C-alpha cells in the first residue's frame, strides 16, 4: 500500500509536528482536533514554519503555498476515510484513546493502518476495543518532531508483520529513522533512559557528591552532552518521576529500575527544573554551570607509591614526572569502594587514595579516600591538577561515579536485548539519536569490555547487598565467554 494521505488526530505540539513532516514529505495531510480554535491556530503555525524553511532555502520556492493546499482541517473523524495511515496524538488517557481507535476503525479502509504516538501507554491496551488489532502499531515520535530523527515503531503482540513493514516505509518517507520496539512499559528510549537518571540520583542520595559534580563527570569524562541532573531539570522532574514510577510498576518492581526518595521529594516539592525556576539547580537569576576545580597557583609536590601498576598509569607517570615515595599510596579499584580495597590490601586508610582511571584518555580523573584519608585525597587531587588533569574529588563510593553510571547504562541496555525490547544495534542507534548519547549502551559495554562491566556490577552488588546491581544474563554470558556485548544468540545471528 502506498502512502498518499496521512491523518493526524490531535493538533497539539506533537500532532502539529507530525502533520508538518507529512506536508514537507509531499503528502496530503488531514488534521483533526476536538478544539476547532486550536486546530486553526495549529494550522497557521505549521504553514508559517514551512514558510520559514522556504525562506531559508530549505524548501523550494512556493512550497508553503502548496503545503497549505494539501492540508485539510477536518471537522470530524469522517474526514479520515481516505487516509492510508492515521496517527493519534491526543491526551495520554487510555479510555479516550481506546474510544478514538474504535471509532476510527469504523471509518477508514480495511487495509488502513492506525498508529498511536503514545509515549507510555501499552499499544495492545489502546487497541483493546478494536476488532482488527493486527493493523495497529505505535509510532512514537520525539519532541520537537521536525528536528528529532528517531521514531520508535512499537509492535504489539497482534501487530501484523505487513503493518510493521508499512510503518518502516512510512517512517522513511517522512524523513525519520525507525527502530522496531516491543510493546512494553517505556518502550526503548524512555526505559533505557532510566539508568542515566536513577543511578545519578542514587549517587547523590548516598552523599557521594553533589549534582554538579556528577554532571561534570558525565559530560567531561564520558562525553555526554548534558549531565543527568541538567537533563532532568530540562525535561521536568515531575514528568521524569511519573515516567520512572510507571516503568517501575510496569516491570513488576525490578530493583534495577527503582528510583530514590530524593526523586520523589523533588517532585513533591514542586522543584520541577527550568519551568519552575528551580530544580537540582537554581535558574531564577540565570544559571551558569559550576566549573571543575582549577589547578592550584602553587604546584603541589607529591611523592606517591603506585600499587598494582598497569599501562593505564603511564599517562600519570609521564605527566607528573613521577618520583616515587611514601607520601601516599595510589590504587585504582574496579567496582570497589576505597574502604573495601584498603581492607583487602592491608593498607593505611589515612594514606591511601583511590583513582578512577576509566577516562584517563580524556585526562579526566576522579579521586576518593576511605574514612580518615580526606587530606590525602585533597593533596593528590591538587598534585594531579597541577600536571594538567581534570580532577573531581568525591566521598567513598563503590565504583566511583563514572564506573557506576556506565555499568548501569550498559547493564540495562543488555537487559533490553535479553528481553527482546529491541536488537543491540537498534538500542544503540535509538539512544544516540533520541538522547545524544556519545556511545550506545551496548557500545559502552564493549568500550569498557563486558568483563569489566560484569566485575563492576558484581562488586557493587556485593558491597551494597542490593539487587539493583544484578547483572543481566545477557551481559554475564558474554563476559564469561569473552564475547562482544552485541553478540546475538545463534538462532537470531543470521
Residues with catalytic annotation? 119, 140, 152, 190
Q: Which of 485, 436, 1 is nearest to 189 (CA)?
A: 436
Task: Give me the sign of the Cα torsion angle 160, 164, 167, 173.
Answer: negative
Q: What phi and psi values does residue 323 have, to the nearest 5 degrees? A: -115, 100
Do the bridges between strand 364-369 and strand 352-356 make them parallel or antiparallel, or are there none, so unpaired?
Answer: antiparallel
Q: Which residues contact 162 (CB under 8 A, 6 or more apart)?
A: none
267 is written with which cell numbers? 517532585
3 state SS for 7-50: EEECCCHHHHHHHHHHHHCCCEEEEECCCHHHHHHHHHHHHHHH
Are 282 and 271 spatial neighbours (Cβ–Cβ below 8 Å)? no
Strand runs (DSSP E) across 230-310, as ranges? 304-306
Q: Which of 114, 126, 102, 108 is nearest to 163 (CA)?
A: 114
Are 354 and 340 spatial neighbours (Cβ–Cβ below 8 Å)? no
Q: What phi and psi values does residue 153 have, to the nearest 5 degrees? A: -90, 110
CA distances to 95, 302, 414, 471, 488 from 479, in Å: 45, 38, 11, 10, 14
Q: Which of 387, 347, 385, 349 is nearest to 368 (CA)?
A: 349
CA distances to 39, 183, 308 from 158, in Å: 33, 10, 56
| Beta-bridge mates of residue 152 | 140, 179
Amino acid at each position: 500500500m502506498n502512502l498518499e494521505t496521512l491523518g493526524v488526530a490531535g493538533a497539539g505540539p506533537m500532532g502539529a509536528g507530525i502533520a508538518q513532516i507529512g506536508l514537507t514529505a509531499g503528502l496530503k495531510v488531514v488534521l483533526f482536533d476536538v478544539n476547532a480554535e486550536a486546530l486553526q491556530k495549529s494550522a497557521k503555525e505549521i504553514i508559517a514554519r514551512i514558510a520559514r524553511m522556504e525562506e531559508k532555502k530549505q524548501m523550494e520556492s512556493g512550497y508553503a503555498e502548496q503545503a497549505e493546499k494539501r492540508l485539510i482541517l477536518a471537522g470530524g473523524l469522517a474526514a479520515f476515510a481516505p487516509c492510508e495511515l492515521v496517527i493519534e496524538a491526543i491526551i495520554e488517557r487510555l479510555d479516550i484513546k481506546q474510544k478514538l481507535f474504535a471509532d476510527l476503525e469504523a471509518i477508514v479502509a480495511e487495509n488502513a493502518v492506525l498508529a498511536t504516538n503514545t509515549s507510555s501507554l501499552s499499544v495492545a491496551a489502546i487497541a483493546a476495543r478494536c476488532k482488527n488489532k493486527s493493523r495497529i502499531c505505535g509510532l512514537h515520535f520525539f519532541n520537537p518532531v521536525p528536528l528529532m530523527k528517531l521514531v520508535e515503531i512499537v509492535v504489539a503482540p497482534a501487530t501484523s508483520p505487513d503493518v510493521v513493514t508499512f510503518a518502516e516505509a512510512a517512517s522513511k518517507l517522512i524523513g525519520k529513522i525507525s527502530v522496531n520496539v516491543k510493546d512494553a512499559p517505556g518502550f526503548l528510549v524512555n526505559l533505557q533512559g532510566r539508568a542515566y537518571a536513577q543511578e545519578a540520583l542514587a549517587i547523590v542520595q548516598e552523599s557521594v557528591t553533589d549534582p554538579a559534580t556528577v554532571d561534570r563527570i558525565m559530560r567531561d569524562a564520558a562525553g555526554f552532552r548534558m549531565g543527568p541532573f541538567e537533563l532532568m531539570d530540562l525535561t521536568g522532574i515531575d514528568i521524569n518521576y511519573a515516567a520512572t514510577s510507571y516503568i517501575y510498576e510496569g516491570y513488576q518492581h525490578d530493583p534495577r529500575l527503582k528510583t530514590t526518595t530524593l526523586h520523589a521529594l523533588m517532585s513533591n516539592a514542586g522543584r520541577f527544573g527550568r519551568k519552575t525556576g528551580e530544580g537540582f539547580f537554581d535558574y531564577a537569576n540565570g544559571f551558569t554551570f559550576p566549573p571543575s576545580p582549577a589547578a592550584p597557583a602553587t604546584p603541589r609536590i607529591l611523592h606517591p607509591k603506585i600499587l598494582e601498576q598497569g599501562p593505564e598509569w603511564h599517562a600519570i607517570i609521564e605527566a607528573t614526572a613521577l618520583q616515587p615515595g611514601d607520601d601516599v599510596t595510589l590504587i585504582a579499584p574496579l567496582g570497589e569502594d576505597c574502604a573495601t580495597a584498603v581492607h583487602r590490601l592491608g593498607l593505611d586508610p589515612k594514606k591511601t587514595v583511590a583513582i578512577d582511571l576509566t577516562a584517563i584518555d580524556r585526562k579526566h580523573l576522579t579521586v576518593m579516600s576511605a574514612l580518615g584519608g580526606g587530606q590525602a585525597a585533597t593533596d593528590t587531587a591538587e598534585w594531579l591538577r597541577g600536571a594538567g588533569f581534570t580532577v573531581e574529588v568525591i566521598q567513598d563510593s563503590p565504583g566511583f561515579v563514572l564506573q557506576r553510571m556506565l555499568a548501569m547504562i550498559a547493564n540495562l541496555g543488555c537487559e533490553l536485548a535479553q528481553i527482546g525490547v529491541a536488537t543491540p544495534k537498534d538500542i544503540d542507534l535509538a539512544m544516540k539519536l533520541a538522547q545524544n548519547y556519545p556511545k550506545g549502551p551496548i557500545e559502552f559495554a564493549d568500550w569498557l569490555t563486558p568483563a569489566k562491566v560484569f566485575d563492576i556490577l558484581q562488586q557493587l552488588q556485593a558491597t551494597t547487598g542490593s539487587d539493583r546491581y544484578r547483572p543481566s544474563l545477557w551481559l554475564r554470558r558474554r563476559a564469561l565467554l569473552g564475547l562482544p556485548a552485541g553478540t546475538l544468540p545463534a538462532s537470531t545471528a543470521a
